[in-house]
Structure 1
Amino acid sequence: MTTLAPTPHELMIRKMESIFPLSVEEKQAISALPIQLVDIKTNQDIVREGDEPSQCCLILEGFTCMYKVTAEGKRQILSLYVPGDVPDMQSLHLKVIDINIASISPCKLGFIQHKDLRQLCERYPRLTAAFWRETLVHASIFREWLLNNGQRPAYTRIAHLICELRMRLKVVGLAENGTFEMPATQAELADATGITQVHTNRVLQVLRADGLISTVKTQMHVPDWNKLKQAGEFDSLYLHLIKTATA
């Protein structure tokens, strides 16, 4: 039996309910939000540093990343975003964007106008708290990335990142039976974890040899969730979920 993909509004509600309890009325209000659907290709900028956007972006399919670039052209990926995420929620309150957000796979996006989000928050004050909580959770994830990339060895670092992505996909219904979409390339994983692409390749080979992951094209499977969590020193506290992912 084929499971139907969630609608844009259902996906947004799933994500919000993983971190904040919503009432029936609040879910109905979210379901009434106008959302403009747009398909984009791989490696396409969604917002650029210096932009003054009038809308926020909901990830519906595919992965995106937040990144910055040095004067020498070296890229540091600061965050990865999965379906259900709104990576530029800060643009509601910060007029000028100070980061870049781009696709790392073909993506379907849902654009929501700032004016519609502001009207929603004015009518439903608890949703203001929900969006604020989501922003705080992204900040918590950013702090964990600093620790992960600054202090953990490469093997643990990449295992931890895989654990995080698997759990974030699980809570929106996109990681079943330990299998999920993982379109990030080795170059992108290297930019996200602060190691070279060659080192990333070696770590992934060891993770496969240890039986912690298997991959087929962009599909990743985790045979033993508990062992992978142990290898990655992974504790989901920093995700602040009210719905947790099990094996």
Structure 2
Amino acid sequence: QDTAPLDEILELDSQRRQKILELESLRHERKEASQETKIDKEKGRDLRTMIRGLEEEVRGLDTELEELLLQVPNIPHSSAPVGKDETDNPIVRHWGDLPTFDFQPAPHWKLGESLGIIDFERGVKLSGTRFYVLKGLGARLQRALIAFMLDLHTTGHGYQEIYPPFMVKRECMVGSAQLPKFADNLYHDDEDDFWFVPTAEVPLTNLHRDEIVTPGMLPFYYVAYTACFRREKMSAGKDTRGIKRGHQFD
């Protein structure tokens, strides 16, 4: 469903254009007045006041317009199916065969606790719901998987490893399409205006933001590990058990 505020965008854009025309006209009038031999000081002060007022209005319209433009989604690829939810997603391909068992498999949260590698109770004690503690072989497996992923990409596929900050500026979140749409699902430090990354893609895709890349430099092959932080408000009531919807994960 298309919920982009196109009518509001067009209206604001029209207002902005009109204000800019008025502003340029006043600036021209002020320039001409300053070149006159006999300068009307009162008129000059009035023009400066009106110019400052219009400049403030244009800045306000720019801010409003940017917020609305950021709500306009990308155009879906022609191959993307139309559907109401994930149940309408077609299976494009699959690899291997699903295993079958002659018994009822236990869920991972039961296996993790019985093996002593996941501690949900102490995770909640430390940080609240949707947190867990990995212990012993569980922690070792987590560390090994991270190292395996990084080593595979760097030694096997020629990627450069990056160790980025786990907190970024607002511009990084906007540049990676996390803001404003997912603001409610992100952790934010109000005092310093830092945003905790929900995925390593956020700092990686912003490494060269606002830079001019010369021909021949592309493509960049980067790989990174970060802890990821999500409030999971959009998945309220889903996967409440286990480690699938944790607030912090790797």
More strand by share: 1
Is the radius of gyration larger for structure 1 or structure 2? 2
Compute the TM-score of the two structures, normalised by the length of structure 2: 0.18
TM-score scaled to structure 1, two decimals?
0.18
Answer 1 or 2: higher relative contact order, Cα 8 Å, separation at least 6: 1
